[in-house]
Structure 1
Amino acid sequence: MKQAIPLRNKIVQGDCIDIMGNMPARSVDFILTDPPYLVRYQDRTGRRLINDDNAEWLAPAAAQMYRVLRNDSLCVSFYGWTQTDRFITAWRAAGFRIVGHLVFRKRYASKARFVSYMHESAYVLAKGRPALPANPPADVIDWVYTGNHLHPTQKPTAILKPLIEAFCPPCGIVLDPFCGSGSTLAAARASGRAFIGIELDHGYFHMAGNRMAA
């Protein structure tokens, strides 16, 4: 039998598949995460993301996310729109059911090809039959620019906090298995929820830890 690791209000460095595999089943109340988009992303300064060049992790990570999430609970996951079919296939294979879609509207274009890219998006995924939130968030939310100083795909806590407040019970535990610089964890703490963060990249792991310590 695997030894359970006490992770409440902690950040762990390592492979999220292995770390979630050592967590008890049905032990977190909400998952909010921003995994690699599978697009080989590189920002203007040359920063890249680990495992953004392969999808080998996607299905096993989704399966572990489903396992550690409590019954009748929700997960919100950002995704790369060019790889939508891969993400949806992995989520459905794990057991998740799509119950909502979120669009985060930007006032600037992050890139332009056939169209100007002026939004980010995420799916709301259900395990079982979660109760409807008392105050459901809008499915179009205005983006708040962070400057991406801490991480090349840094998410603003201002857009994450309302999701946590709507989808995670008071005093619940929020898991982010791809926590990057720790935006989800900061939003969870600001919302009065406990958190568990997992990050593979050693540098971002320390950055998230310093951010939470501050």
Structure 2
Amino acid sequence: MTAQENTPRNLVINGDCIEVMQAFGTGSVDFILTDPPYVTRFRDRQGRTVANDDNARWLRPAFAQMHRVLKQGGFCVSFYGWNKVDLFVEAWKAAGFRIVGHLVFRKRYASSARFLRYEHEQAYLLAKGDPVLPARPVPDVLDFPYTGNKLHPTQKPVAALRRLIGAFTQPGDLVLDPLSGSGSTLAAAHLLGRDWLGVELDVAHYQTAGKRMAALQQRDRKAAA
């Protein structure tokens, strides 16, 4: 069985991403796009929290597995918490990733306000090895439409994620989100004709992502009928 055959496609898995990824083949994933817990003990206005956001024990082993399963020359885009950036950079470098770019997602609203009004999200572009430059690089500042966070307390907009997936993958490539939440990365990948694979620890979010992807697949079947 090849590394690619070890790794499922078009599936959402409920489980600990470190344990789940250990079963995936080395170099079997074409692109990773993920929004991990920011290690900030986040709580939204409704009191919702994010699993494992109260500790960083998972950070290094999770990114070590992401680096292993990513193909040589592949990219990973990871959101991060600005006030814990040292922890994230240490984990990325320890895993073997190279930092090759930085992304800012511009909001038209403030997610919170303390010393400043927080009107952006951010992510780093990470590389494994020496990737080929994209044919049409996306800007490093992208719009971030408001999702309403109805499906997840830190729900990301599919439109912004589609821009990234479109820039760094080809149709049929496998896009992995090992911390998939409500499945926004998976939905964006599916809409672009990419294969997708998600892992989510929280049962409720896993179920949300599963229903979301099943609805998209059903829509495609009806359109093809």
Normalising TM by the smaller chain, what interval? over 0.9
Please name the residue that 1:143 is paired with: 144
Structure 2 counterpart of 1:83: 84
* Residue in 2 that maps onto 1:58: 59
Partner residue, 1:186: 187
Aligned to 1:17: 18
Show structure 1 runs of 4+ deviating over 6 A: none
Deviations 1:71-110 (A, max 9, x none): 0010000000000000000000000000000000011111
Give the whole-Å Cα distance in 2 for the aligned partners of 1:94 and 1:110: 31
Q: Could you tell me whether the CA contact under 8 Å between 1:29 and 1:169 is conserved in 2?
A: no
Q: Report 1:107-186 matches (<5 A).
A: 107-186=108-187
Distance 2:90 2:7 in 1: 31
1:165, distance to aligned residue in structure 2 (A): 0.8
Ranges in structure 1 where 5+ consecutive residues have no aligned partner: none
Task: Tell me the amino acid that sits aligned with residue 39 of structure 2.
Answer: L
Match of 1:211 in 2: 212
CA distance in 2, matches of 1:72, 1:108: 36
Whole-angstrom distance in 1 between the partners of 2:137 and 2:7: 31
Q: Which is worse superposed, 168-177 or 26-35?
A: 168-177
Cα offsets for 1:11-62 (capped at 9, x unmatched)? 0000000000110100000000000000000011110011000000000001
Q: Which residue of 2 aligns with 1:48?
A: 49
Aligned 8 A contact 1:37 1:80 in 2:
yes
Question: Partners in 2 of 1:168 and 1:125 — Cα distance?
Answer: 14
- Displacement after TM superposition at 1:169 (Å): 2.5
Does 1:74 find its partner at 2:75? yes
Is this contact kept in 1: 2:177–2:185, CA < 8 A? yes
> How many pairs does the alignment contain?
212
Contact map agreement 2:112 2:118 (CA 8 A) in 1:
yes
- Give the fraction of aligned pairs with identical amino acids, expressed as a percent: 61
Give me the TM-score of the superposition, normalised by structure 2: 0.92
Q: Which has the higher helix share?
A: 2
Partner of 2:223: none
1:112 maps to amino acid: A
Gaps of 5+ in 2: 216-225
> What is the rounded CA distance, in whole Å, between the counterparts of 1:160 and 1:89 in structure 2?
25
By how many angstroms is 1:170 displaced? 2.5
Shift of the alpha carbon at 1:112? 0.9
